Amino acid sequence: MTDSAGGGGPDAFSARIGRFRADDPLPLYLQLQGLIRDAIMKGVAAKGSGIPAERDLAVEYNISRITVRKAIEGLVEEGLLIRRRGAGTFVAGRVDKVFSKLSSFSEDMEARGRIASSRWISRSVGIVTPDEAMGLALSPGTQVMRFNRVRLADDEPMALEFTTIAPDCLDSVDDVDTSLYAALERTGHRPVRALQRLRAVPVGAQHARILEIDTGDPVLLIERCGFLPDGRVVEFTRSYYRGDAYDFVAEL
């Protein structure tokens, strides 16, 4: 059976993922979604690889750009594709974050064969705010250490972390390089358990720019209080995880 797509040589995207079939009754945007989805699931379109621009797919499949856009938007909503402003559309490399295990971002990425890094926004010492005081069970006027950074995996922005650490848990803000938990472990103050709250929120313009997503896109806000063996709170963190890059898993 012949296909109904337009042109495209042996190196074209359609040659790798397949073309429309003339006997397929589905709308064209669903057919294109199916072809791209199958290619992702079978590894033909690898994680992190780029998808041709809408205009190129429209020409290659002899369909309108509106049809292509509708197909791509559906796959973005499914979390299979991600859009990066100014760069294009890519196959998402999603990360499973397991809630039943207390681990750091660096440890999560290492377990998945990805290279974790940080881009610092600020490292500072200051007087605890009311929210921090409540989260850390500290008295007003107490000095705390703050670590605000962008977390990256293979140089791709994945999350924003705003962490406040109780006093006397680290010697200096400069003790933290890539992994905060590794620094806390060196001083004997690594959390052994945590209380976490998660909710989906629309991302603001400033955070969206840093995470390379669109303003209003959903992100996962996690508020964490980390506890020492004696019950003291050592860590209060607010993290914003890209909704197109993370699946959160809980063992019940």
Residue 3: predicted pLDDT: 40
Region 216-220: mean pLDDT is: 90
C-alpha count within 13 angstroms, C-beta hemisphere, residue 2: 4
C-alpha count within 13 angstroms, C-beta hemisphere, residue 90: 17
Region 243-251: mean pLDDT is: 64
Residue 140: predicted pLDDT: 93
* Percent over 70 (pLDDT), the chain: 85
Confidence of residue 95 (pLDDT cuts 50, 70, 90): low
Residues 123-161: tens digit of each pLDDT: 999 999 999 999 999 999 999 999 999 998 888 898 999
Residue 249: predicted pLDDT: 57
The secondary structure of the chain, three-state, reads CCECCCCCCCCCHHHHHCCCECCCCCCHHHHHHHHHHHHHHCCCCCCCCEECCHHHHHHHHCCCHHHHHHHHHHHHHHCCEEEECCCEEEECCCEEEECCCCCCHHHHHHHCCCCEEEEEEEEEEEECCHHHHHHHCCCCCCEEEEEEEEEEECCEEEEEEEEEECCCCCCCHHHCCCCHHHHHHHCCCCCCEEEEEEEEEECCHHHHHHHCCCCCCEEEEEEEEEECCCCCEEEEEEEEEECCCEEEECCC
Residue 233 confidence (pLDDT) above 90: yes
Region 215-220: mean pLDDT is: 91
Region 175-198: mean pLDDT is: 89
* Percent over 90 (pLDDT), the chain: 43
d(CA 155, CA 167): 31
Average pLDDT of the chain? 84
pTM given for the model: 0.60
Residue 57: predicted pLDDT: 92
Residue 5 confidence (pLDDT) above 50: no
In this structure, which amino acid lies at residue 229?
P
Residue 101 confidence (pLDDT) above 70: no
d(CA 47, CA 220): 21
Region 1-28: mean pLDDT is: 71
Report the side by side order of strands in the sheet with 81-84: 50-51, 88-91, 81-84
- Specify the higher pLDDT residue, 133 or 110: 133
Residues 36-70: tens digit of each pLDDT: 988 887 778 877 788 899 999 999 999 999 999 99
Confidence of residue 98 (pLDDT cuts 50, 70, 90): low
